[in-house]
Every structure is written in C-alpha cells, then in structure tokens.
Amino acid sequence: MLLAGLPSRAQDDSITVRNGNEINPYQEKGFKKERLFTGGGVTASFYSGGTVLGVSPVLGYTFNRYFDGGIVLNYVYTGTRDVYEYNDKLRQHVYGPGVFARAFPIDFLFVQAQFEENFTSVRYTPATNNNVNPGKYNANAPSLLLGGGYSTGRANGSSTFFYVSIMADVLKNRNSPYVDVTYGPNGEERIRILPIVRAGINVGLFQNRYGRY
C-alpha cells in the first residue's frame, strides 16, 4: 500500500524551474553583499598650457530598486602655465570624501544628493629670474551637490550601468571648487555656481553571471 501511493504523491508535488533571466520575486531581508557596487568616474582634459586630471571612486549599496547610497572619494589635479606671465606655473590639488544618495523614479533616470568636504591646495611658482615671490594657498569647504542624470538602464536586481549626471553646489561657499569667484567694479564679491557634468560607471559586486543579485 505504501509503495502504491508513492507515484501519485510524486505527481502532486510540482517542481518549478526558474529562468535565470527572470527576476526572483523573493527578496531576502538584511544586508546582502550582492547589493554592493563600486565604480566611479575619471576626468582628463588637456589644453594649451594646462592639464586637468581627476578620479572619483565610489563604494555603494543598493537598498532596493529605487534607492542607492554610498561613499565617494574625490581627487582633481590642475596644472597651468603662463597664468600671469610667460613660463610661470600654478598647481592645484583638490581632494576629499563625500556621501551620496540616488533615487530612481524610472530605471534610466535618477536624482542625486551628494555632500562633500573638499580640501584645496594651491602652489604658485613665478617664472625664472623674476622678483615675484612664490605663493601657497590652502582652504577647505563643504559642498552640497544636487542634480540628476541618465543611466543606461538600471534593471531590477542589477547594479551595473553607465551614467551621466549634472549637478550644482547649492551651498556656494567661496572656497568650493565648484564655484567661480569674481569681483564687481566696487570690489563686491560675486559667487557664481558652476555646473558639474560627470560620467562614470557602476559595477555590481558579487553578482551572478546574469548580473543580478
């Protein structure tokens, strides 16, 4: 009797085989290493008398299909010649940490808020055989960058994509690397916000061969 009942019971137990390209509706709660991502962007600009090089690596976490967050490190080097006279040099280093949050109302569009604390070091070297003294300048400033951008497609369960964004520093600190400081005819200081255009890549960590967690 027991053996006779086994085939019928086996037919009642259904076995479901899930397509690896389909999204698993079951999501585990708590921290998942598969939600971690890295990436960032690079900057490279060369022009007559100047060079700009930069890098901004990130480490982030995908909380759900709508929100990402993480930390970022910034470094930008700017070298310029013939600033005030022929053959003088100006070297600037900007570096600092930051935290960011991104919201994706649509898979390919996002809004972003990023807080940074940037440190600036400037060194001026006058031309040879000049009576002008060399100079140094150090400063730091907080920045709150707000803006948005476009990604190549952030599918549910995937943290790997390319993106481009535009943001602005709404704090307008005079020592921020994202503002331009000028002076009016009466010596009044004017601070103008500069648009920040960035492009980069997010790379999901510990994800399976389908690029999903």
pTM: 0.77
pLDDT value of position 194? 86
pLDDT digits (tens, 9 = 90+) for 137-180: 999 999 999 999 999 978 766 778 999 999 999 999 999 888 88
pLDDT digits (tens, 9 = 90+) for 94-109: 999 999 999 999 989 9
Structure tokens at 31: 């921290």
pLDDT value of position 28? 58
Q: Which neighbouring-strand residues pair with 170?
A: none
Q: Give the number of other Cβ atoms within 10 Å of residue 201's Cβ.
A: 17
pLDDT value of position 13? 52
- 56 Cβ partners below 8 Å, 6+ apart? 40, 41, 42, 43, 72, 73, 74, 75, 198, 200
The backbone torsions φ and ψ at residue 84, rounded to the nearest 5 degrees and listed phi first, read -110, -25
Q: Burial of 77 by CB count in 10 Å (0-12 exposed, 13-18 middle, 19+ buried)?
A: middle
pLDDT of 1 above 80: no
Q: Between 8 and 123, whose confidence is greater?
A: 123
| Ordered domains of the chain (ranges, CATH) | 34-204 (2.40.160.20)
pLDDT of 213 above 60: no
pLDDT value of position 15? 52
Q: Give the helix/strand (H/E) hosting 9.
A: helix 2-12
- 29 Cβ partners below 8 Å, 6+ apart? none
Q: Give the number of other Cβ atoms within 10 Å of residue 37's Cβ.
A: 24
Q: Which one-letter amino acid corresponds to residue 45? A: S
Q: Between 12 and 192, whose confidence is greater?
A: 192
pLDDT of 9 above 90: no
